[in-house]
Amino acid sequence: MLKARPVTLLKQSAISLTLVAATITSVQASGSLSIESWRSDDANIWSDVILPAFNQSHPDIKVHFAPTPPAEYNSALQAKLQAGTAGDLITCRPFDTSLSLYQNGHLENLAGLDGLNEFSDVSKSAWVTDDGKEQFCLPLASVIHGFIYNKAIFKELNLKVPATQDEFYKVLDTIKSESRYIPLSMGTADQWEAATMGFQNVGPNFWKGEDGRKALITGEGKLTDKAYLETWQELAKWKDYLGRGYQAQKYSDSQNLFTLERAAIYPAGSWDIQTFNDQAEFEFGAFPPPVPKAGDACYISDHTDIGIGINANSDNKEAAKALLSWMASAEFANLFANAVPGFFPLSNHKVTINDPVAQEFVSWRDQCNSTIRNSYQILSRGTPNLENALWNVSAQVLNGTMSPEAAAKKAQDGLQAWYAPQQ
């Protein structure tokens, strides 16, 4: 490529990025709020459903939902906060990303906010300081991992929803040998699917959910333990069932392969329900990650994924607090759960979910033990951080360029390099 551009542009681009972002999001009139979010898919739902409902009780507060694409959200938000141009409300990533925003003075302490008592300590845990005293974001929603399958294909091939891993591979073998469908719709080009829909999806059954996750934090468990090794060995088995050229298959390709009925099973996050509701013209269902042996306790990843907090430099903190308190209400929980199926409210209110697949996902909470993704709390604070390391090694295991043993060793070495309890 040939484009003369001085190196200084790199710094400039940071500035101009901020300026561009600022012009998009700044709504300066009094009584108006703007929300920073990475959920660009939900923009319509916010402007058509949620915010009008809020305005019925608070007609004088104007709210503008201003999302950034997910991959750029963290960095764009950081730049905007530093430049003082970020919106009044900040959608919070769970754990350390938001904790560091709070520690750097970008987020408001929510002590005394009406409605905060509607949430359990577990759901609040993703957005408190390590000593559990200061709450800086209101829990909004969690997402659950599992597998979404095409019911018509299962019927055509006489398949039963698998409950154990043996059954799971039998189903995959049948699809592979008896039809032209791709058994599993997943690619490694974007890397995060390998870690999120692969490793964190099936892993909790091996490392026993919260037990294994906490053992990693205290240093009693290591990523080279059998549980983690088995998880990566599991992923290594998947590669025979993925579509041709899956190394170049992106997230949207995987979704399209499923909605175009070219693939039978899709390792999913519950957020995919929305996309499939819009695009799939067939009936689809969901099943939880299969357990190793029949009768084993099941574990699911029920990840506290979205919170919402107040920009410490906002001019409209009172209005922002009013919006947050409303978001803790039963009205909001019902609206949100049904407008955005696949995102499950974290408040203690009883919520009726109408979407059948979302219902299926949330029903696993009663049968299985919930846990969150093991790399999010504390373990991604250092360099190299565990989450990004898991992306890298899980994608490589799926690509067949790294053995499960090497993946475990690389992830453990990276963690050990900076995390004292693991040393």
Three-state SS at 142: strand
> Which of 42, 253, 272, 302 contacts other proteins by CB under 8 A?
253
In angstroms, give the least distance from the CB of 24 to other proteins.
18
Three-state SS at 85: coil
Q: Should residue 257 be labelled a site residue for other proteins when binding is judged by CB under 8 A? A: yes
Site track 141-160 with other proteins (rule: CB under 8 A), x = hit: --------------------
The C-alpha atoms of residue 405 and residue 120 are separated, in whole angstroms, by 38
In angstroms, give the least distance from the CB of 269 to other proteins.
15
Distances (CA, A) of 145 to 191, 282, 358, 373, 390: 17, 21, 11, 10, 17
Using an 8 Å Cβ cutoff, are 297 and 291 in contact? yes
* CA torsion angle 378 306 320 69 (round to 10): 100
Q: Should residue 388 be labelled a site residue for other proteins when binding is judged by CB under 8 A? A: yes
Site track 276-305 with other proteins (rule: CB under 8 A), x = hit: ------------------------------
> Which of 226, 401, 405, 421 contacts other proteins by CB under 8 A?
401
The C-alpha atoms of residue 123 and residue 92 are separated, in whole angstroms, by 13
In angstroms, give the least distance from the CB of 388 to other proteins.
5
In angstroms, give the least distance from the CB of 5 to other proteins.
5
Site track 91-130 with other proteins (rule: CB under 8 A), x = hit: -----xx--x--xxx-------------------------
Q: Of 346, 316, 339, 303, give the one whose Cα is nearest residue 138.
A: 346
Q: Should residue 37 be labelled a site residue for other proteins when binding is judged by CB under 8 A? A: no
In angstroms, give the least distance from the CB of 31 to other proteins.
30
The C-alpha atoms of residue 117 and residue 121 are separated, in whole angstroms, by 9
Judging by DSSP bridges, how do beta strands 32-37 and 182-184 pair with one another?
unpaired
- The span of 158-166, 231-239, 240-248, 332-340 binding other proteins (CB under 8 A) equals 240-248
Other beta carbons within 10 Å of 184: 25
The C-alpha atoms of residue 185 and residue 206 are separated, in whole angstroms, by 22
> Which of 298, 384, 403, 416 contacts other proteins by CB under 8 A?
384
Q: Should residue 235 be labelled a site residue for other proteins when binding is judged by CB under 8 A? A: no
The C-alpha atoms of residue 150 and residue 259 are separated, in whole angstroms, by 9
Q: Should residue 40 be labelled a site residue for other proteins when binding is judged by CB under 8 A? A: no
> Which of 26, 32, 74, 233 contacts other proteins by CB under 8 A?
74
Q: Should residue 44 be labelled a site residue for other proteins when binding is judged by CB under 8 A? A: no
Quote the longest CA-to-CA distance of the chain.
64
Q: Should residue 61 be labelled a site residue for other proteins when binding is judged by CB under 8 A? A: no
Q: Which residues of 276-308 are buried (b: 16+ CB within 10 A; e: fewer)?
A: beeebeeebebbbbbbeeeeeebbbbbbbbbbb
Q: Should residue 14 be labelled a site residue for other proteins when binding is judged by CB under 8 A? A: yes
Q: Should residue 396 be labelled a site residue for other proteins when binding is judged by CB under 8 A? A: yes
Nearer to other proteins, 61 or 390 (CB): 390
Nearer to other proteins, 77 or 171 (CB): 77
Judging by DSSP bridges, how do beta strands 138-150 and 89-92 pair with one another?
unpaired
> Which of 136, 154, 168, 376 contacts other proteins by CB under 8 A?
376
Nearer to other proteins, 334 or 380 (CB): 380
The C-alpha atoms of residue 204 and residue 211 are separated, in whole angstroms, by 9
Q: Should residue 378 be labelled a site residue for other proteins when binding is judged by CB under 8 A? A: no
The C-alpha atoms of residue 261 and residue 251 are separated, in whole angstroms, by 16
**Residue ranges in contact with other proteins by CB under 8 A:** 1-12, 14-15, 71, 74-76, 78-79, 96-97, 100, 103-105, 187-192, 243-250, 253, 257, 375-376, 380, 383-388, 391-392, 395-396, 399, 401, 414, 417
